[in-house]
A and B are shown apart, each in its own frame.
Chain A
């Protein structure tokens, strides 16, 4: 038997690969490398995006301040000398600006800093236009300060700020009519004396927007309040409506044309570009219903309609994940259909619903395009709304709209503001998503 089947000598071993196999294996390796490269590219872009946000935006939280003793000259601020705030209010910020300039100039002379800028007026380029108003407010609140020399810390102009942040250089100021290289030398000297320094700028987080020429003063606080009121509208409309709609579709709706119509509509609305919702808001809420333009309530209504599909889809998913045995048990114990849903299914689905709602809110918070059309840009949000009704109805901006507004402005100092605004916006989004993830981890139940 053994010689009947003489083993044929193999031409090649199975363990060594031939040319064809090598080619196939090389193709395999290449293919895998493409995949790794694709993921690497994706992660690379993520890193570049985050890095450019952080490197460009973190500086917005620091601002250059000048701190000098200022002599509040009674001859200029209170000519009659009776310290009556009402009379002193007649002196406008133009009356205060020279005092600040004198204050800096006195320090320059006292410390013996050499500078070709021989006049106190030349200091104007260093000082923010907001500084005089700040000192004026302080004096009007406390008239006894007049005649004294007080230490005042005020904002430096955006060019000086830019110089400390390397945005403005000696080459770039050559063609700048607002500031000269001599000013920058002076700033270096003052900085060495500790009178000019960068510190953390709370006003960027809590403050109001400023006019185009004062980027150093602009803050995102007021538009944050606008966003907050919009989110309130979205939360109180989209959550109940979305949950009610999902309960109907998931638990009660019969299989008929009407239900199909609703389903098709919801899935279409989820795919409609956000700008179209802006057109809807403009045409229906502003032109047709005459609601006030730029008001957070209009923005909230538009964002509600936009977020509804998201909330409905996630709510339906979490209602669906509640096992039918719960419903059957409730019905078996004599509960009505409505009772079984509201007493048993809904509470069990609640973590999922909340998670979906928070994610929907986060989406709405970052949405910009519809807000452009209902007039939330171009409006300079300078006033904190007084009261709740005003918060909903008075014109305001919203965080993303404010960022867009800053990005559009001509002064590059505003770009830094825009990036800084993005950091704050992203912090909110990360916080909301983190809460959603924690909720899901903590309360999610596997059946």
Chain B
């Protein structure tokens, strides 16, 4: 039974439970609502909660755990010798899963009958042919033991799915019965329901923690796996990035330094571009501009912040790059070889960051109290002198924090560099050369054809880990600076 149906059935049971619970509570009070402890709805909610929550929890756990159980059962069926040179158990298991899915689809399509699909002695070639007829993807790796394992996989997952449906629905009914049995006029339904709601709210809030844990664990495990295959020292110190695609770890040199250099260089260009423009725009908007100008210009600038990064990526690739090329390319000064360069990505990223810097700085400048401006004017300072000597020093920690946040955005930016910066890792000072970044390489290593167990793919997780640590570090630093050096005004 599909999962969606199970969910629907549980919800129907809950709805019935709700109405029954409400009715039973009223009946136990002889139809007089005033003799109930809680409002009658709470008795219904009590039953519904007890139906839904345990059943869905069990379903979630079952769905998580079943694949592990099946994998361990199925891998017993695959002899050591079956695992080919250069392959591993995971790849064979993926093959098993694919074959099992294929058989399932073939049976659904009516190409294969149930008997053939479950016959362990079936001829591999017959099955392969049938699978091909059904339009399923079949590789040459289907061997008798893979086939047997696939059939076992299919049998187990079908049985597991069926057992889950039965168990979940049974639990839902049990929960409903439990809720209904406690229903009587004295039962403190409201308190119980409110406690339940509180628990649900806490678990929703905990998802933020779970997400962080998920990110950290998925990064750490794969990074450790990568360092098992590839020396960590090389990763951090090699000045060369040259992944091989032969599948053998030894031939690639995977040094993060050229990528980090590209990342920092592009971010630096972006910040050099965005910070002055953003800061001056913020100063003008908060100190000089009238209410009307402010009300029109600010939202207009913020449009730049709402535009998705893919748009900036395309803008870099197809507008900024060719534009720079006409000025600095072979027909101009001759500094630039191709449209993709540090400058292209940096300028585009700078445009993206202008509203980010300006709106953050704007808030900070506005937070400087008016009395400080008035004091400065009273001493005869002009507006610009007030800004330079009073407001900016007072707002400096906040502005530095804003710049650091912008830097962390720039370092983590992906689409602009994927489309605008180029693919070659280089350690160079020339801003008109193509370089590549950490994020661009994460994308290229994980979207290629290399399998997930090779160091060439796993390196992406190590890169992701570095990126995560760097951006997090910058954010903490920004927060620290703002907190520590902030002037407190009454």
Contact = CB atoms under 8 A, between A and B. Distances in A.
A415 B311 contact: no
Interface string A374-388: 010110000000000
Given A27-B382, A27-B384, A407-B314, A273 B218 contact: no
A275 B310 CA distance: 13
Contacts of B190: 336
B311 A53 contact: yes
Contact of B207 (A49, A241, A280): A241
Interface string B392-420: 00000000000001001101111100110
Interface string B431-446: 0000000010011001
Interface in B297-332: 297, 300-301, 303-304, 306-311, 313-315, 317-319
A289 interface: yes
A266 B204 contact: no
B280 A38 contact: yes
Interface stretch (B168-176, B351-359, B480-488): B351-359
B160 to A, nearest CB: 13
Contacts of A377: 447
Q: Is chain A's interface secondary structure helix, strand, loop, or mixed overall? A: helix
Contacts of A53: 311, 315
Contact of B439 (A269, A275, A403): A275
Interface stretch (A87-95, A147-155, A181-189, A248-256): A248-256
A275 B205 contact: no
A28 B283 CA distance: 13
B204 A273 contact: no
B211 A308 contact: yes
Query: Interface size for chain A: under 10, 10 to 19, 20 to 34, or 35 or more residues?
Result: 35 or more
Interface string A332-368: 0000111000000000000000000000001001111
A41 B415 contact: no
Interface stretch (B72-80, B194-202, B370-378): B194-202
Given A24-B382, A366-B309, A244 B281 contact: no
Nearest to A38: B280
B471 interface: yes
- Identify the interface centre among A35, A305, A373, A419: most chain B CB within 10 Å of its CB: A35
Interface stretch (A109-117, A164-172, A422-430, A438-446): A422-430
Contacts of B245: none
Interface of B: 2, 4, 63-64, 67, 97, 190, 194, 197-198, 200-202, 204-209, 211-212, 214-215, 218-219, 221-222, 276-281, 283-285, 287-288, 297, 300-301, 303-304, 306-311, 313-315, 317-319, 351, 354-355, 358, 382-385, 387-388, 405, 408-409, 411-415, 418-419, 439, 442-443, 446-447, 452, 460-461, 464, 467-468, 471-472, 475
Given A31-B387, A273-B412, 9 more contacts: A32-B384, A35-B280, A42-B301, A45-B354, A272-B468, A276-B412, A279-B218, A367-B309, A373-B446
